[in-house]
Structure 1
């Protein structure tokens, strides 16, 4: 399944001033910020890597589901349906949650 080009373009534009590497994975396009997976454009959703502490709270929001692979739920990885990213405020909310956690992860490296 191919990723959503429009969504990928929106993510790319939002991350333009950051050190980003794009990687195709499982038919999706992952955006690695500071060497860490941060966001992922899928065919009909955006995956956000957020603080696992916020996982359960954010799952309660409309259009959200946990990332499950191999029958295992990954805490801190949430898919947000495209329809819940249509306006700038909603898109920005998820973008900022992912970037906040990315900053936290990268500050632990040293």
Structure 2
């Protein structure tokens, strides 16, 4: 895993591990943070991948520091990549983690 991804994973872990149903799984050449078996957030290079409602995709993309998740050549609706400036502070990172966790907690457990 890249050093910037490792640092971000450690920051995420500190904010995320208190959630009920928390687990980690190796994915994307790194680690993905799960809730009740559902993917929630993951570091990707120096960005944060977040899972959010598909029906709010356009609204999410208008948020500062959010951009389409397009790591395979196709935009994945229901996901966003948060730029480093948006997660630089603990408050910024926590805000995005909480948004993703609130959505993922509405999904059926796997």
Q: 1:36 to 1:45 in 2, by over 3 A?
A: same
Residue 87 (structure 1) aligns with: 89
SS in 1 for 2:63: coil
The structural deviation recorded for 1:71 is: 3.0
SS in 1 for 2:107: helix
The alignment's C-alpha RMSD in Å is 2.0
Alpha carbons 1:66, 1:78 under 8 Å: kept? yes
Residue 66 (structure 1) aligns with: 68
* Structure (1/2) with the larger strand percentage: 1
**Partners in 1 of 2:92 and 2:39 — Cα distance?**
20
Residue 56 (structure 1) aligns with: 58
Residue 27 (structure 1) aligns with: 29
Residue 18 (structure 2) aligns with: 17
Q: Which ranges in structure 1 are unaligned for 5 or more consecutive residues?
A: none
Alpha carbons 2:5, 2:45 under 8 Å: kept? yes
TM-score (norm 2): 0.84
Alpha carbons 1:4, 1:41 under 8 Å: kept? yes
